[in-house]
Chain A
Amino acid sequence: MIRFKEIQKAYDNGTKALKGVNLRIDDGEFVFLVGPSGSGKSTIVKLITAEEAPSGGRLMVNGYNLNNIRPGQVPFMRRTLGVIFQDFRLIEKKTIQENLIFAMRAIGASPRETRKRVPYVLELVGLEQKAGCRPTELSGGEQQRVAIARALVNNPQMIIADEPTGNLDPMRSLEIMMLLERINELGTTLLVVTHERELVDRFSKRVVAIENGRIISDETGGYYNDEVTI
């Protein structure tokens, strides 16, 4: 669940990245966030993960009010989120399995819990055969699936993916999107940031478009298709 109410974000250097954004994402939704480079997409992601604080407006994430959240509460808010990046961000000297265990131990899971959960998510992303490999031994698409498994492993309410297919070829990108769609069907809310029009148009999902720090459209059924019909 996400609520942006008139959110402003100015960075320390004065850059106004967001200029009054209103956005509501309910539990169970699958939402694409599209827009040109520098339009403020990653800023929205950083506000949701509390990496940055809003300069103005009201912000709620999964029941946490981020306007006046205590620093000690931020980790617990983050446990309700799974985050995926364009550059995967896996630990290269750990195996796939160890990467997932690492993410679980980070929030205090016991070895028994990791033994139960890790094989399940590895199977979900189709990498049960690669559990003992290191990230460098995998293709980009496989590495991103590991990152998705890691985002899922702590069973978050919502997954946020910032350009998850930016480093992948069209075929792998489609596979990743279909995997994310499947995860959404299993009950997790999905917010996917991308600027790949073909990809967005292949799915009939809600598309929020942002430009120059403002939401310019929010419709279901393919944003770029609409552009063509105008």
Chain B
Amino acid sequence: MKLRYNFGYFISEGFHSIFTHGFMSFAAVCMIVCCLLIMGSFSLVAVNVDHMLGDLEAENEFTAIVEETYTDGQTTQLQAAIRGIPNVASTTYVSKAEAMAAFKEGREDNELLNDLPDDVLRARFRIHVVDIERMKETASQVEALDGVAKIRAEFEIAEGFVVLRDIAGAVAIILVVILLLVSLFIIANTIKLATFNRREEIAIMKMCGATNGFVRWPFVFEGMLLGLAGALVAFLFQWGVYSLVANAVTGSDTMSLITVLAFRPMALRVLGAFVGTGLLIGTSGSVLAIRKFLQV
């Protein structure tokens, strides 16, 4: 009992079928392109938002004000203690003079301030955290240390960013899952129509003694080719659309705050994700579609 699998035959059958069912193939590719484009655009926006949030997060820090009576030596010890707390990314020491200079900056016109001695303000540490979500916890740990007079932080802003990022992430995942299911359904139905058109041929093949695998392969290749074609077309469109939008955003004055990532460094990953998703949708769609036809 020998099984000869001739993949050249399957591929040429798959190709042939794509052209003989031209309209359905065109529709299927269009669906894959649409789904991938929606998915891709959303993901790229999400990546950009995440990137910007990352920037903002980096600026998130809180300030620990040092007890007035502390000497330089004690302050150095305090800095070491702060650095020892988990979730502390970095600490920057701000001396009394530096604090005063920073305070006076932008207030040069105010004559009252000119006469103030340099040591009116207390020395302080600017502390960056690793995980913005645990900022409050870290801040109270710092506050508990001896020599820390008080903590100054904008927890509301930090929490706002976290909530925003979490919502964006959840929405992205939900949308992508929904879109994946929709495109899978559409591909399965497209190939189901193709198999329906060829149920006679399938019946004849089965009557002649073709194995299920043999009957399935050309359809699987057809699905894979459709997925691949859709992925490549979607990639080119994505590139074009992304560049247009990026140019518009960076060129506009009102949106100058938004930084847009360049497409090229992400191109390979986008292409990989599209090809992978396209192949997956195409293959699983065709397998789903012909399951029923093989039960003879």
Contact = CB atoms under 8 A, between A and B. Distances in A.
Interface of A: 49, 51, 72, 75-79, 81, 83, 89, 91, 93, 102-103, 105-108, 110, 150, 154
Interface string B197-219: 00011011111111110100000
A105 B9 contact: yes
A83 B208 CA distance: 8
B4 A108 contact: yes
B4 A154 contact: no
B209 A76 contact: yes
Interface string B211-237: 110100000000000000000000000
Interface residues of B, number: 22
Contacts of A79: 208-209
Nearest to A108: B4
Interface string B1-34: 1111110010000000000100000000000000
A76 B9 contact: no
B174 interface: no
Given A78-B209, A107-B214, A110-B4, 8 more contacts: A75-B212, A76-B1, A79-B209, A91-B201, A103-B208, A106-B214, A107-B209, A154-B209
B200 A106 contact: no
B296 interface: yes
A49 B3 CA distance: 21
B208 A107 contact: yes
Q: Report whether over half of chain B's contact residues are helix, strand or loop; otherwise say mixed.
A: helix
Contacts of B207: 49, 78, 83, 89
Contacts of B208: 78-79, 103, 106-107, 150, 154
A90 B238 CA distance: 45
A22 to B, nearest CB: 26
Nearest to B8: A111
Contacts of B20: 93
B211 A75 contact: yes
A82 to B, nearest CB: 8
A46 B205 CA distance: 16
B209 to A, nearest CB: 4
A120 to B, nearest CB: 17
Contacts of B1: 76
A91 B211 contact: no
Nearest to B203: A89
A71 to B, nearest CB: 8
Nearest to B9: A105
Contacts of A81: 209
5 contacts: A89-B207, A106-B208, A107-B208, A108-B2, A108-B6
Contacts of B205: 102, 106
B188 to A, nearest CB: 23
Contact of A106 (B2, B5, B209): B209
